[in-house]
Amino acid sequence: MPEEPIPTDKRSFKIELDPGTYWWCSCGRTSHTPFCDGSHKGTGLQPMKLEIKEKSTVSLCQCKATKNPPFCDGSHREL
């Protein structure tokens, strides 16, 4: 059974990303928020692949309660 994710903040992480592949941390244990650093090993949780096709600004979830991972959907307002 997977462990529960750990919220890293109760607000989104707004960032401009260049085209490429990114791995969003779904466990909350990373030291490189909001991106995976491998700290999920042994938790039963996995990072989520994020493909960016063109340079864009995104709001990534840090509370880990979003219904639209890896993007913030405002769920942190209900915590």
For 9-43, write each residue's pLDDT tens digit. 999 999 999 999 999 999 999 999 999 999 999 99
> Cα–Cα–Cα angle for 79, 26, 20, nearest 5°?
125
What global pTM score does this model have? 0.92
CA distance 52 to 75: 23
